[in-house]
Amino acid sequence: MITLHQIRTDKKAVIDRLYKRGLFAAQALIETISTLDVEKRGIQTQLDRLTARLNKVNKKIGTQIHKDGKLEALHDHKKEISTLKEEEKCLQQKLKEYETFLLEKLYQLPNVPHESVPFGTSADDNQVIYQTCDVPHAKPEQLAHWDLVKKYDLVDFKLGNKITGAGFPVYKGKGAKLQRALINFFLDQASEAGYIETQPPILVNASSAYATGQLPDKEGQMYHIMADDLYLIPTAEVAITNIYRDCIIAETELPIKHAGYTPCFRREAGSWGAHVRGLNRLHQFDKVELVQICHPHHSYANLEALLSYAQGLVAQLGLPYRILKLCSGDLGFCASMTYDIEVRSVVQNRWLEVSSISNFETFQSNRLSLRYKDKKNKSCLLHTVNGSALALPRILAALLEWYQTPTGIHIPQVLQPYTGFEKIN
């Protein structure tokens, strides 16, 4: 979350960086926040003076009782105290209202892009920084994954629609086993890389959703259980990062690294068209998420290391892929910098995102009140970094399409110890 301190000290820089993101109304919103901040500080000054006055009157009463014995003045002083306390109560209420309103306005502001993020207005302006090779064109006999899962009875979309609705598929037989194999492979790889395997709740309260930036930005995209005011998580990041809400971490413990497998839930309101067909976009899907709590001086090195790690997973699976550095206009609400890893669907002739790896800098930690003590014992905000390693539906789709043959679908060698079979036929 952008802080009032940032706006106070360099308002123009904040506006310019938000403008780079495509938030063209940033100046009006920042000016509103600045005005509210000045008014709030004015109320705080009034309240401080009033408190000082109350203390002075209270001290005077004590002096008169114990030294002078002038009881006749007590009535006037008590009357003054009563008036001052009523004014104090009104000012405290007014201050609270301003603080709430200011927080609501600050929550509307996305993170500012890192200086190295390329300028752009849409996904078309993202930079391709790596690609494995020129991918071949699909052969006429090759099938899309939605035809392959039907042919080999791996995933049933109609059955999922019957049970729940569109976007909730049922995985069956070797399809379910391949799904489980991918989850176990990703978790084992993460453990070997020093991540703590964590199984968090898949429901969070509103405080947790605000703390990691899902609310209010994605309120319409999350499944909300209104009776209990709980939200189904869109990613394990939300629950895992909130483990450290209101915490002060010892500097020697950094970085803290967690890996969590969970089902993920996204309403994806407004999504339609060919790009959502099959496993391309679902309302419920499985994902292994990596979360790091980092020292601010090291977070970008950690981001690059996490990118390299996720890239290695895709390479082990033998899939053609590319890495994008997202432009300012395509950044997520909380991110300061993001890399996407996309695998190639030859049959669909399109790229499928399987991992998004981001540095949020202090955006989440400020909301979380997540800090560490530096060598001078000063309390400082930490950085948060996370990434998918990996999201399963599109990985599964790419595997089925890439490894299909006339006699069946081969299983990558690294997955065979997990599946117990080498081929789907």
CATH number at residue 63: 1.10.287
Known binding site for ATP: residues?
A: 266-268, 353-356
- Whole-number pLDDT of residue 227: 97
Among 107, 132, 166, which residue terminates a domain?
Answer: 107
Please give the DSSP secondary-structure letter assigned to residue 314. H
In this structure, the answer to whether residues 155 and 98 fall within a common structural domain is no
- Whole-number pLDDT of residue 270: 46
Q: Which of 338, 345, 347 is nearest to 388 (CA)?
A: 338
Instruction: Count up the domains in the chain and report the number.
Output: 2
Distance CA 221, CA 234 (A): 9
Give how far the C-alpha of residue 14 lies from the chain's centroid of Cα atoms, to the nearest Å: 21
Domain range for 101: 4-107
- Whole-number pLDDT of residue 314: 98
Per-residue pLDDT of the chain (425 residues; tens, 9 = 90+): 888 999 999 999 999 989 888 877 788 999 999 999 999 999 999 999 998 988 887 777 666 655 555 555 566 667 778 888 899 999 999 999 999 999 999 999 999 999 999 999 999 999 999 999 877 788 889 999 999 999 999 999 999 999 999 999 999 999 999 999 999 999 999 999 999 999 999 999 999 999 999 999 888 899 999 999 999 999 999 999 999 999 999 999 999 999 999 999 999 754 555 567 899 999 999 999 999 999 999 999 999 999 999 999 999 999 999 999 999 999 999 999 999 999 999 899 999 999 999 999 999 999 999 999 988 889 999 999 999 999 999 999 999 999 999 999 999 999 999 999 999 99
Residue 263 backbone phi and psi in degrees, to 5: -70, 150
In this structure, the answer to whether residues 59 and 169 fall within a common structural domain is no
In this structure, the answer to whether residues 54 and 179 fall within a common structural domain is no
Is 114 a member of any domain?
A: no
Give how far the C-alpha of residue 30 lies from the chain's centroid of Cα atoms, to the nearest Å: 23
Distance CA 339, CA 387 (A): 9
Q: In this structure, are strands 248-249 and 371-373 parallel, antiparallel, or unpaired?
A: parallel
pTM, two decimals, is 0.90
In this structure, the answer to whether residues 348 and 254 fall within a common structural domain is yes
Element (H, E) at 129: strand 127-131
Beta bridge partners of 351: 344
The answer to whether 331 touches 117, Cβ cutoff 8 Å, is yes
Element (H, E) at 345: strand 337-345
- Positive or negative CA dihedral for 71, 73, 75, 80? negative
In this structure, the answer to whether residues 189 and 265 fall within a common structural domain is yes
- Whole-number pLDDT of residue 73: 58
In this structure, the answer to whether residues 143 and 268 fall within a common structural domain is yes
Known binding site: residues?
A: 235, 266-268, 289, 353-356, 386
Q: Which of 131, 179, 140 is nearest to 347 (CA)?
A: 140
In this structure, the answer to whether residues 340 and 228 fall within a common structural domain is yes
In this structure, the answer to whether residues 209 and 238 fall within a common structural domain is yes
- Whole-number pLDDT of residue 69: 55
In this structure, the answer to whether residues 103 and 187 fall within a common structural domain is no
In this structure, the answer to whether residues 103 and 128 fall within a common structural domain is no
Element (H, E) at 355: strand 350-361
In this structure, the answer to whether residues 330 and 412 fall within a common structural domain is yes
Q: Which of 389, 388, 382 is nearest to 255 (CA)?
A: 382
Other Cβ atoms within 10 Å of 45 Cβ, number? 10
In this structure, the answer to whether residues 28 and 167 fall within a common structural domain is no
- Whole-number pLDDT of residue 140: 87
Among 72, 107, 142, which residue terminates a domain?
Answer: 107
Known binding site for L-serine: residues?
A: 235, 266, 289, 386
